[in-house]
Chains A and B, each alone.
Chain A
Amino acid sequence: MTLTLSEAGQNVVAGTFGRAMKRAGEALGSMSGQVIEVQTPQLQRCTAADVLTMAGGPESIVLAVYVCILGSLQGHALLLFSPSDAHRLAQILLAGLLGPGELPMESTTDPLSYDELELSALQEAGNVTISAFLNEIGMHLHEPVQPTPPQIVIEMAGAVLDAVLLDLVNDADQVLAARTTFSEGGRAIDGTLFVLPRADSLRVLLDALGALGI
């Protein structure tokens, strides 16, 4: 079942993402002691099949922060980065927390090797970003959305995504995907935020936002 959104409806959804990312930036800023902006210049609804393409293809390596969404709204949320962008984001987040001499060195030989501190910072970045969106939704639903603790996976995109894609019943435009840019000073890091509601939850989500029937 494909739910059609008018232009006004699409603007409502885009506004929700925008507000959520502003909050995410504020939370990451207070966590790291830096001024961090999170923007979603591109928001789109796409099919499950498009997700793999947006992630760079099934064999491209990604760092993914995954949260399972439970409660009245059910589904999955993932924040994906390329390995190099993930390293750069971790360095920005940790720079405000640690002194220059205490920063973990970025591995020059293995881009898939992450310091424990880097993983912790990235897990929190994913958690904050996804939670900001879910909190925004929860305000409209008038009941909390229940996310699980975040899980970090560094793997082929296909391997990370197939488990959540097959949980979507059909190939309709079920997925909300947002290109997400984290920026601090002159540095910008690209990620992609996917919100994948289960079968009936997309209607619940869009309805709660007031994006349907306008």
Chain B
Amino acid sequence: MTLAESPSLLVAGIGEMVLSSSPHDHLVAYGLGSCIALAVWDPRAKIGGLAHFMLPSGPANNGSPVKFIDAGIDTFLHALESKGAVLTRSTLKAAGAAAMLTVGSGLAIGKRNAEAMQAALTERGLNLTATALGGNTGRTVQLEVADGRFLIKSLSSVTEL
């Protein structure tokens, strides 16, 4: 691979989404804890998108397009469709939603995020193709637009979902 063909990384920070139809792009969300990432890839149109959601629910127009699952899921899915992706033939994979901090109370966000993601997709007639959710492990995820490979990196391993 020449330098010109090196993949470029598009990073979805907390509450952000990235989309691409370039086969040279890798879409990345770093250091997911209780946050949840949704990766969508259309194998025919070769279009991919990655969204880094924080919380199950909250107000729209909060300054971050996909901060909240309920307010942001349509923003993300519509953006993919506008780019030419067809959701019904796409793979949908989710990762994150871990429980990193277990002392105290009120931080069981990961479990609620996983449930909210499943419910939001079901409501729209969509299903998750594969998941790596829960546990107490941090995850960095990467969607490769060229072939839809979805990699999950933890401190101890790199796996393909």
Contact = CB atoms under 8 A, between A and B. Distances in A.
Interface of A: 52, 57-59, 61, 66-68, 70, 76, 112, 148-151, 153-167, 171
A160 B104 contact: no
A158 B32 contact: yes
Contact of B139 (A70, A159, A163): A159
A186 to B, nearest CB: 32
B107 A159 contact: no
A160 B138 contact: yes
B100 A166 contact: no
Contacts of B110: 163
Interface of B: 14, 30-35, 54-55, 63, 98, 100-107, 109-110, 137-140, 155
Contacts of A59: 30-31, 140
Contact of A158 (B31, B106, B137): B31
Given A68-B103, A148-B104, A155-B155, 11 more contacts: A52-B31, A66-B103, A68-B101, A156-B30, A156-B138, A156-B155, A157-B31, A158-B33, A158-B138, A161-B33, A162-B35
Contacts of B63: 171
A144 to B, nearest CB: 16
User: 6 smallest A-B Cβ distances: which pairs?
Assistant: A158-B31, A68-B104, A159-B138, A58-B31, A159-B33, A156-B31
Contacts of B14: 158, 162, 165-166
Contacts of A160: 33, 100-101, 138
9 contacts: A70-B105, A112-B155, A158-B32, A159-B31, A159-B139, A163-B107, A163-B109, A166-B109, A167-B107
A146 B104 CA distance: 10
Given A112-B155, A155-B155, A162 B103 contact: no
A68 B31 contact: no
Contact of A155 (B30, B35, B100, B104): B100
Contacts of A171: 63
Contacts of A163: 33-34, 100-101, 107, 109-110
B101 A151 contact: yes
A84 B140 CA distance: 22
* Of A58, A68, A150, most B-chain CB atoms within 10 Å: A58
